[in-house]
């Protein structure tokens, strides 16, 4: 569980205990249930990170709601949007190994995260990630209930595929944009897991002679990332 879970979960748990001692059983039950829900929401399970060269993994748990062609900064590409329900794990992970060249916080609305307009109009963190294959973009997007997007990373930081990078509280959305050369491997309706489900295949531009050695290095980094919270 991430540390935010203790901040939000311990107060209702303590109040529930006090209510029980005072024989306010109904209030105690409600508070205990609330505490358990919060602890569950902030759970942070380990994941097996794929080591396949060119794999782009899901930044979060949830259901794929959009797969579409989209132009980003004048470049043709494809976007995959994933809706995170309140019962999903909300820790977000890096979709690929690379360097965060830009991290932009954009204030906005709190439309229901399943709505198409949420990708543009809602509060969000926008990560531009430079990888061996090129530049990709992924977003943490707040939803109707989620009111805070949290990044644990900063610009110019390097991340490994599947490394924990932040979370969005209480229902949200994540978007991944890749150039047109990438092969999308998911479809609308698919359920995916953050860090372990492969959304797309986008091979890097390395020479074949260097690929095996670098892939071994990335595998070690990804295995480390599976247990890294930063």
Catalytic (active-site) positions:
172
- Token pair recorded at residue 79: 């976007």
- C-beta of residue 160 within 8 angstroms of C-beta of residue 94: yes
Q: Give the distance, in angstroms, between the CA of residue 173 and the centroid of all CA atoms in the same chain.
A: 8
* Separation CA 27–CA 30 (nearest Å): 5
H helix runs in the chain, sequence order: 4-21, 25-41, 118-121, 208-225
Task: Mention every residue, 6+ apart, whose C-beta is less than 8 A from residue 194.
Answer: 47, 57, 58, 59, 60, 61, 89, 91, 92, 93
């Amino acid at each position: 569980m991430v540390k935010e879970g203790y901040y939000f979960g311990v107060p209702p748990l303590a109040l529930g205990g006090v209510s029980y001692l005072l024989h306010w059983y109904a209030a105690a039950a409600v508070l205990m249930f609330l505490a358990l829900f919060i602890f569950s929401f902030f759970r942070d399970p380990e994941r097996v990170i794929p080591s396949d060269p060119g794999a782009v993994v899901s930044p979060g748990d949830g259901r794929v709601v959009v797969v579409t062609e989209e132009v980003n900064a004048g470049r043709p590409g494809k976007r995959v949007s994933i809706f995170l329900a309140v019962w999903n794990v909300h820790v977000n992970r890096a979709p690929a190994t690379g360097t965060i060249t830009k991290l932009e916080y954009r204030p906005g609305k709190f439309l229901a995260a399943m709505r198409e307009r949420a990708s543009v109009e809602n509060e969000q963190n926008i990560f531009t990630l430079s990888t061996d294959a090129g530049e990709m973009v992924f977003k943490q997007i707040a939803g109707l209930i989620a009111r805070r997007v949290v990044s644990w990373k900063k610009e110019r930081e390097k991340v490994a595929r599947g490394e924990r990078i932040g979370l969005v509280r209480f229902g949200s959305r994540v978007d991944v944009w890749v150039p047109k050369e990438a092969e999308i491997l998911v479809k609308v309706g698919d359920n995916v897991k953050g860090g372990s489900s492969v959304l797309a295949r986008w091979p890097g531009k390395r020479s074949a002679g260097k690929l095996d050695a670098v892939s071994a290095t990335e595998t070690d980094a990804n295995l480390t990332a599976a247990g890294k919270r930063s």
